[in-house]
Each structure stands twice: as C-alpha cells, then as structure tokens.
Amino acid sequence: MPPSDALTGGCQCGAVRFRAGRLGRSAICHCRMCQKAFGNVFAPLVTAYDVEWTRGTPKYFRSSNVLQRSFCGDCGTPLGCLDDDGMLELAVGAFDDPAVAAPSVQFNMRDRVAFFDDLASLPPQPDADKELSCNARIVSRQHPDHDTAHWPPAGGFAA
C-alpha cells in the first residue's frame, strides 16, 4: 500500500481536493447507476478511510435509497459515493496517481456492456504523429496531479 501522502486527488478544475489516510478494496462497478454517474461504461471505485477534503467540498446527489454520489459542483467531475452507513468510495481516476488503487474485482456483471472485454484489444490510432501535433495545440486548464496552494494560477490561463 502506498504511503498516505500519496493518496491525494481531486476534481478536474481543482475546486475540490482530498487526502485519504488509507485505501481498502478497489473494484470496477458495471451497474447502470455507476455507468450514468460516471458517463462511462463502468466506474472504478476504491473504499477510502480517514478522508479529508483539503479544498472545497463535493456536492451530492442521492442516486438510490442507500447511496449518494459525490461530484464537483463547479466542473462536474465524479468523485465517488457515500452510502448511508458512512462507507466512502472514491473514484480511482480522481486520484493524482490512479495506480495507487488498481481494481482487484468487478461487480454487477449483468449490466456490463457487451464490448467491455474487447476494449484493451482496440488498435491505436494509426497516425500517432498527427495525434501528437493536435495535442500540442491544447492548453490544459485542468488542475495538475498534485496539491497546489492556489488555483487557478495567478494571472489565469492564456487564451
């Protein structure tokens, strides 16, 4: 398990940041609610303990009779879910280093989309040079993958 100082993360815009003391089981959930909440075909989540919201606080949506979904109220980034017993699961992709929470199990297989097993075998884009040149024009306004004293940067972003 990584040291707790490596267990930081947050939303895309930087308005909400967190630090977890330790992590439990990491899983991929295929249920339809997770698919909708993440805008994806699955949701990677990890049980988190001793979580401190270090910048801002998430907003919540009660997606079922036992679960609230957390997200950034500014940029909409899914941050996880909180059940009525107080168990918090954080979105693996919201960690500064998602590798700290590699999933070890899958749930709700009946809702898994048919093409899930084939995703890793999809071919890469054939013109990698074109992809790099397109990405070179992009100026990211995303919060960096580490804690910052202030965000957004002083002076804002270049147009």
Question: Considering the entire predicted model, what is its pTM?
Answer: 0.85
- List pLDDT tens digits, range 27-79: 999 999 999 999 999 999 999 999 999 999 999 999 999 999 999 999 999 99
Confidence of residue 132 (pLDDT cuts 50, 70, 90): low
Show me where the domains of the chain are located: 4-114+123-136
Query: Into which CATH architecture does domain 4-114+123-136 fall?
Result: Beta Complex (2.170)
Q: What is the dihedral of CA 96, 97, 101, 103, to 10 degrees?
A: 110
Dihedral angle, C-alpha 42, 46, 47, 49, nearest 10 °: -140
**C-beta neighbour count of 64 within 10 angstroms:** 12
